[in-house]
Amino acid sequence: MTLFNVLIIGRSNVGKSTLFNRLLNRSTSIIDNNPGTTRDFKYVDFYLNDLLLRLYDTAGCDLLSPESFLQKDIMHINENLLTDADLILFVVDSKNGLTINDIEFAYYLKKYFFKTFLISNKHDSRKALEGFWEPLSLGLEYSFPISAAHGLGIDDLKKEMLRFLKLKQPRISEDNESSLYTNWNRKKNVVDPYLTLINEKQLNLQNEPIKLAIVGRPNVGKSTLLNSIIKKQRVLTSSKSGTTTDPILVDLNWMGQEFRIIDTAGMRRSSKIQKGIEELSVQKSVEVIKFSEVVIMLLDIENALDLQDLRIINLIEKEGRCLILALNKWDVEKNKKEKINKLKNKIKLSLPQFGNIPFVTISALRNEGTEKLYSAILDAKRNWQKRFATSKLNKWLEIKTSEYPPPMLKGRRLRLRYITQIKSRPPNFLIFSSSLDVPKNYRRFLLNNIREQFNLKNIPIRLKFKVGNNPYV
């Protein structure tokens, strides 16, 4: 089936993300009145009647300040998108009227006028339609007054999009699977994590892509790590925190294994989170953790495992996800041995639920340590979906309870009669016992020994108790 690329573009704060959400009939991109909310492009594949479209939401372009924060990188990315687009939706703001930047951008788009629709947005009433005449001076043949926020004019826009695209010569097919990444020599692309992760069908585990999230506090190098893994500047990076707002998901084959890697916004502690964009970004980062399988917790070497790091790690454990602790900027650390020993002691005190979890030391900027990171991810995923024979588990239980007998409860010895694994992803174990009053220290003893005996590193383990005899006797 033919796949058409439709690109929404324009300066900041004209309603591009609102239009993106309106055309999809769902809230996918974060929207806010502050300019610069969208920093990286994202896309979603969807059907418009019988046509398959790939709709792109892009960052705002400011041609008058090309040297400003991130604008040089944004323009470089958008140039590639414009070249391979089948249809360009150039959005302007009718309320504020045309700006010098709009006029400059229209001139910049002149060579693409044959495939450009002018979208005059924010015509929220009949009176506001009077402001439609000014955008017409830009000289674009196809012009549409709409209100993306209220859905006015969207049906007419969709009809014209269908008519226009049906007249085009098919250029992209699913068989060929080329895309807007053609210039970047890529085979897989960014998709919206909420459309793919929540509604995804279960695949054969051997062929199933590993869903990997990169999380951490702001400015620890998450986007740099993603770019390092895919060996392209897919995500904007900067020393300024808060560069990433929307989660960005990239599909790729990494060393023979299919991955879906999601870069998330930085997560500060709740008391410092600002209302608006940052609050929405953090909410989406939490959702990404829920729908991932393996989570890389990226730590800054200067203040690794501070209180906010521990909060994020506890959230990962609560959701039952694999945890990889990656210590970034390792190339600048002088006292490496001392730093590792200090952090290991902190883990024993603060993260006992993960056992003796190892660190992976990396330098995202220099692309160092990614091979070790790759191995740790694969090991964690294998452990996460392991299942153990009941006979093997009960042999372990018999040995442990004979070496370290359960405690006395009200003058009687606690009896642990039987253990079985009730599920995986993560491993859940159920022990039939004579009482549910199993002391916390003995529960932890059993958990730690299960982890050690069956080599279950980097993953949370669930251990439950039920009163009863061996159900199979």
**Model pLDDT for residues 355-409, shown as the tens digit of each residue:** 778 899 999 999 999 999 999 999 999 999 999 999 999 999 999 999 999 999 8
Which residue type does 178 have?
S
Residues of the chain with CATH 3.40.50.300: 3-166, 186-384
Confidence of residue 201 (pLDDT cuts 50, 70, 90): very low
Distance CA 145, CA 120 (A): 5
pLDDT, average across residues 145-174: 83
- pLDDT for residue 311 is more than 50: yes
CB-CB contact of 253 with 188 (8 Å): yes
Confidence of residue 140 (pLDDT cuts 50, 70, 90): confident
pLDDT, average across residues 235-239: 61
CB-CB contact of 454 with 421 (8 Å): no
- pLDDT for residue 175 is more than 90: no
The topology under which CATH files domain 186-384 is: Rossmann fold (3.40.50)
pLDDT in tens, 401-438: 999 999 998 889 999 999 999 999 999 999 999 999 99
**pLDDT given for residue 127 in this prediction:** 61
Higher model confidence: residue 193 or residue 251? 251
Kind of pairing between the strands at 51-57 and 142-145:
unpaired
For 3-166, give the CATH class.
Answer: alpha beta
**pLDDT given for residue 376 in this prediction:** 95
Higher model confidence: residue 228 or residue 181? 228
- pLDDT for residue 471 is more than 70: no
- pLDDT for residue 49 is more than 50: yes
Q: Which CATH architecture has domain 390-467?
A: 2-Layer Sandwich (3.30)
Largest CA distance in the chain: 91
Q: φ and ψ at 105, to 5 degrees?
A: -70, -35
Question: For the chain, how big is the Rg over CA atoms in Å?
Answer: 27
Instruction: Give the distance from CA 159 to its chain's centroid.
Output: 33
Q: φ and ψ at 202, to 5 degrees?
A: -70, 130
pLDDT, average across residues 341-368: 88
Per-chain mean pLDDT for the chain: 81
> To 10 degrees, the CA torsion angle through 62, 66, 69, 71?
60
Polymer length in residues for the chain: 473
**pLDDT given for residue 436 in this prediction:** 92
Distance CA 264, CA 217 (A): 10
**pLDDT given for residue 39 in this prediction:** 52
Which residue type does 63 have?
L
pLDDT, average across residues 262-273: 67
Lowest-pLDDT range of 190-204, 244-258, 330-344, 366-380: 190-204
Residues facing residue 271 across a β-bridge: none
pLDDT, average across residues 13-35: 75
Distance CA 237, CA 327 (A): 18
**pLDDT given for residue 202 in this prediction:** 32
Distance CA 262, CA 291 (A): 11
**pLDDT given for residue 207 in this prediction:** 60
Residues of the chain with CATH 3.30.300.20: 390-467
Residues facing residue 429 across a β-bridge: 421, 463
pLDDT in tens, 274-310: 544 445 667 777 888 988 999 999 998 888 898 889 9
